[in-house]
Amino acid sequence: MKKEDIRAALTIKNHSFTIQGNEYVVRRPSVADLIAAAEESKGKNNFAAWLVYNHLIDEQGQQVFATIEEVIECDVRMIEKMADEIEPLYGEGRD
């Protein structure tokens, strides 16, 4: 991991990624998110939706979705792709 990547992870800088030509921005997880994720992942089938709900932000840094139910109503393939980009952020700096 490069020095600037480590710094971005530790200072919780936003992370962006592209899916199907569209750029998305997510808030990197904090320690509080790590604790919440551990609770959310216990026996629930909507962890991917929770990741998107909790981390996807707009240009002003606000959550895109008001409720997790809004996320659950979206295209499941797109939510899974977004979650696949978000989940590794929880392990940044471990290697």
- pTM of the shown model: 0.85
Domain membership of residue 12 as a residue range:
3-91
Rounded to the nearest integer, the mean pLDDT of the chain is 89
The whole-angstrom separation of Cα 77 and Cα 85 is 13
What would the DSSP string read from start to end of the chain? Answer: --HHHHHHHHTT--EEEEETTEEEEEPPP-HHHHHHHHHHTSS-S-HHHHHHHHHEE-TTS-BS-SSHHHHHTS-HHHHHHHHHHHGGGGGTT--
Q: What is the pLDDT of residues 44-86, one digit of tens each?
A: 679 999 999 999 999 999 999 999 999 999 999 999 999 999 9
Alpha-carbon distance of 19 to 14, in angstroms, equals 16
What CATH number is given to the structural domain containing 18?
Answer: 3.30.2220.20
Residue 93 has pLDDT above 70, yes or no: no
- How many domains, in total, are found in the chain? 1
Q: Which of 31, 22, 19 lies closest to 80, judged by CA?
A: 19
| Closest alpha carbon to 53 in 35, 77, 32, 37 | 37
Residue 22 bridge partners (DSSP): 19
